[in-house]
């Protein structure tokens, strides 16, 4: 259904341009005015709210440039069909819109040449590279307008053409066309002058300077992340453990957008987007490369022979993603505990048992293991569902769609009251419009209950919706008396706290089968799709008379390793082994 909606929105926009062309040719002024307004509003709406529709039109050869050309042609046709014109007026009617297009084309070409002259070959953080001479660049706003976007200046010809048709006078179109041409010429002049100033400037020397810094810093451990910005949370969870190592660490990234979204860190961070540039870096001092995600661009690091390549992932869970066959390309796969080792053995995806290392979860060092509930705050329930997953036709991957509202309504209606923290997965709603809509309804419920729906702090007694990077999930753990989640790494990590937790069972699997298929639920209370067990679970866990306490203690050892072992020490020990 979502694909149909994307195609329908694109088709409606194309239809508005077709109507403009027909109306312009036949001189139907009211129809042209309505279609022109629809086209302008539609372009804005697609770019703002439906980028997939815009992408679809580009794929079928109806990109924005062609659409803008048809808009300007329709405008000229309307004036020619409704206004009595002299030969000189016809000439200017054709020349003025064309001037804007000529300037747009050449400014785009020059801007591309400027970019190639001075490419953004590397971005750095917490690194002092010293002064680097670079070719001049135009102001960002001028660079953004150069090329096809500059032709948007002709959009004002639409209302001018309608006025001209009504008044039988071409003057409004010529005046607006002249203004558009002058505005385009100003942008074009800025781009051209910048290009002239930079003649003779070679490529940016950032990479050689960066290489000299790497040679002097001599990093031993590299946290490598080549995923997109939306997945940068996967790298964020390994920043603190890497910072705490005795060895010199570095973060290597491949996406400029992800680099900008990376959490604060004391580690030096290097982002080299181009594969060729990255592979030309000399990283001979690195002994251990840590990978938080399985993505194609990992190959540019995996080809380095002088280091050990270790998949550390972004959380152990019972999901299929936690036993990806891609994992066998690494020298070692590090898991939290015995559960991770057995998970790979059951999956039979080619990862050898001797290549699996149990290190615990060093990120959990800051998660408090609670005894009795803290008395200085209300009983707090954290609802932290996972997202809908890559297969958006799986209705049971997340509880948000089938159970989310029912869970939240039940918690908000509980007496005595509880405090709710709602922290969905960062990707919730990114693939499923049903999940996105359910999430928005949950946020509305919390807002109606007086909660803070843009929370950046957990201080205070009220409800919270946490969708940003701060507070972090583990900060939420430390405020939580009861977790409600799905089959995900959230459950595995929360077991560190030894607090009670609930796993949603939207598929309605029998309890024995559910616990057998998803071992992380062995010490959980299960919640069926009607949430009928919620009231009883709250009553049991609020009184402190919790029958699952011993089961959680045993499960913690199975999932995260021996209770007496410090996971950060284990992490450091294994890193030290690789670096030796």
Q: Write the DSSP string, 553-580.
A: HHHHHHHH--TTS-HHHHHHHHHHHHH-
Q: Residues 168, 107: one domain?
A: yes
Q: Residues 166, 32: one domain?
A: yes
Q: Give residue 334's domain range.
A: 206-360
Cis check: omega of the bond before 416, within 30 degrees of 0? yes
Higher confidence at residue 59 or residue 238?
Answer: 238
Residue 528 lies in a domain: yes
pLDDT of residue 372: 46
Question: What is the overall mean pLDDT for the chain?
Answer: 91
34-51 tens-digit pLDDT:
999 999 999 999 888 888
- pLDDT interval class at 459 (50, 70, 90): confident
Q: Residues 385, 403: one domain?
A: yes
- pLDDT interval class at 545 (50, 70, 90): confident
pTM over 0.75: no
The whole-number average pLDDT for the span 52-76 is: 91
- The C-alpha atoms of residue 142 and residue 384 are separated, in whole angstroms, by 43
- Interior angle at CA 502, CA 496 and CA 503, nearest 5: 100
- The C-alpha atoms of residue 177 and residue 171 are separated, in whole angstroms, by 10
Residue 566 lies in a domain: no
Say which CATH number the domain at 556 has. Answer: 3.40.50.2000
When divided into structural domains, the chain yields a total of 3
- The C-alpha atoms of residue 444 and residue 437 are separated, in whole angstroms, by 11
The whole-number average pLDDT for the span 237-259 is: 96
- The C-alpha atoms of residue 186 and residue 95 are separated, in whole angstroms, by 17
292-332 tens-digit pLDDT:
999 999 999 999 999 999 999 988 877 777 788 989 999 99
- pLDDT interval class at 20 (50, 70, 90): very high
Q: Residues 335, 421: one domain?
A: no
- How many residues are present in the chain? 580
* For residue 410, pLDDT beyond 70: yes
Decide if 571 contacts 241 (C-beta within 8 A): yes
pLDDT of residue 204: 57
- pLDDT interval class at 199 (50, 70, 90): confident
| CB atoms near residue 121 (< 10 Å) | 20
Q: Residues 157, 278: one domain?
A: no
In 3D space, the residue among 323, 364, 148 whose CA is nearest the CA of residue 237 turns out to be 364
325-382 tens-digit pLDDT:
989 999 999 999 999 999 999 989 999 999 999 999 998 877 887 654 555 678 999 9
Q: Residues 291, 163: one domain?
A: no
Paired sense of beta strands 464-465 and 123-125, if any: unpaired
- The C-alpha atoms of residue 12 and residue 133 are separated, in whole angstroms, by 49
Q: Residues 186, 218: one domain?
A: no
Mapping DSSP onto H, E and C, the string for 171-212 reads HHHHHHHHHHHHHHHHHHHHHHHHHHHCCCCCCCCHHHHHHH
* For residue 175, pLDDT beyond 50: yes
Decide if 421 contacts 480 (C-beta within 8 A): yes
Residue 31 lies in a domain: yes
- The C-alpha atoms of residue 75 and residue 83 are separated, in whole angstroms, by 12
- pLDDT interval class at 1 (50, 70, 90): low
Q: Residues 43, 159: one domain?
A: yes
Q: How many CA atoms lie within 13 A of 237 on its CB side?
A: 23
In sequence order, the β-bridge partners of residue 222 are 250, 289
- From 325, 360, 395, give the residue that closes a domain: 360
In sequence order, the β-bridge partners of residue 525 are 502
* For residue 77, pLDDT beyond 60: yes
- From 198, 226, 244, give the residue that closes a domain: 198
87-130 tens-digit pLDDT:
999 999 999 999 999 999 999 999 998 887 766 789 999 999 87
- The C-alpha atoms of residue 52 and residue 39 are separated, in whole angstroms, by 17
């Amino acid at each position: 259904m979502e694909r149909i909606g994307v195609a329908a929105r694109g088709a409606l926009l194309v239809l508005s341009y077709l109507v403009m062309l027909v109306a312009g040719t036949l001189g139907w002024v009211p129809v042209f005015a309505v279609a022109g307004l629809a086209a302008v509003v539609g372009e804005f709406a697609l770019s703002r709210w439906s980028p997939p529709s815009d992408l679809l039109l580009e794929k079928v050869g109806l990109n924005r440039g062609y659409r803008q050309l048809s808009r300007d042609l329709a405008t000229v046709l309307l004036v020619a069909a409704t206004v009595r014109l002299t030969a000189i007026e016809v000439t200017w009617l054709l020349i003025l819109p064309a001037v804007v297009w000529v300037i747009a084309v050449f400014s785009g070409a020059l801007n591309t040449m400027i970019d190639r002259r001075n490419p953004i070959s590397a971005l750095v953080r917490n690194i002092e590279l010293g002064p680097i001479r670079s070719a001049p660049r135009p102001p960002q706003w001028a660079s953004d307008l150069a090329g096809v976007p500059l032709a948007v200046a002709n959009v004002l010809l639409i209302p001018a053409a309608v006025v001209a048709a009504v008044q039988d006078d071409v003057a409004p179109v010529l005046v607006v066309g002249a203004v558009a041409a002058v505005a385009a010429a100003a942008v074009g002049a800025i781009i051209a002058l910048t290009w002239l100033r930079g003649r003779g400037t070679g490529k940016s020397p950032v990479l050689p300077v960066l290489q000299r810094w790497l040679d002097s810093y001599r990093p031993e451990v590299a946290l490598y992340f080549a995923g997109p910005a939306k997945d940068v949370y996967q790298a964020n969870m390994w920043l603190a453990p890497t910072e705490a190592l005795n060895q010199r660490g570095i973060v290597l990234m491949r996406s400029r957008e992800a680099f900008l979204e990376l959490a604060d860190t004391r580690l030096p961070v290097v982002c080299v987007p181009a594969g060729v540039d990255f592979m030309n870096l000399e990283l001979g001092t690195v002994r251990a490369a840590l990978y938080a995600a399985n993505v194609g661009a990992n190959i540019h690091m995996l080809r380095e022979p002088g280091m050990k390549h270790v998949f550390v992932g972004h959380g152990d869970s019972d999901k299929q993603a936690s036993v990806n066959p891609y994992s066998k390309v690494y020298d070692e796969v590090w898991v939290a505990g015995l559960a991770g080792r057995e998970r790979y053995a059951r999956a039979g995806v080619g990862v050898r048992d001797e290549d699996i290392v149990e290190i615990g979860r060093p990120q959990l060092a800051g998660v408090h293991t609670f005894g009795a509930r803290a008395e200085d705050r209300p009983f707090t329930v954290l609802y932290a569902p996972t997202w809908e997953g890559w297969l958006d036709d799986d209705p049971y991957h997340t509880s948000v769609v089938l159970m989310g509202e029912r869970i939240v309504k039940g918690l908000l209606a509980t007496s005595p009251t509880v405090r709710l923290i709602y922290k969905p997965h960062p990707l919730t709603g990114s693939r499923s419009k049903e999940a996105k809509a359910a999430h928005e309804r949950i946020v509305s419920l919390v807002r109606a209950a007086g909660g803070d729906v843009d929370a950046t702090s957990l201080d205070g007694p009220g409800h919270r919706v946490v969708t940003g990077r701060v507070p972090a999930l583990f900060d939420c753990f430390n405020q939580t008396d009861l977790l409600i989640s799905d089959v995900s790494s959230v459950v595995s990590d929360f077991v560190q706290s030894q607090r009670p937790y609930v796993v949603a069972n939207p598929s309605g699997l029998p309890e024995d089968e559910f616990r057998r298929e998803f071992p992380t639920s062995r010490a959980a209370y299960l919640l069926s799709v009607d949430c009928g067990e919620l009231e009883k679970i709250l009553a049991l866990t609020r009184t402190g008379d919790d029958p699952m306490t011993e089961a959680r203690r045993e499960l913690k050892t199975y999932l995260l390793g021996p209770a007496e072992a410090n996971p950060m020490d284990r992490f450091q020990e294994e890193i030290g082994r690789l670096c030796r």
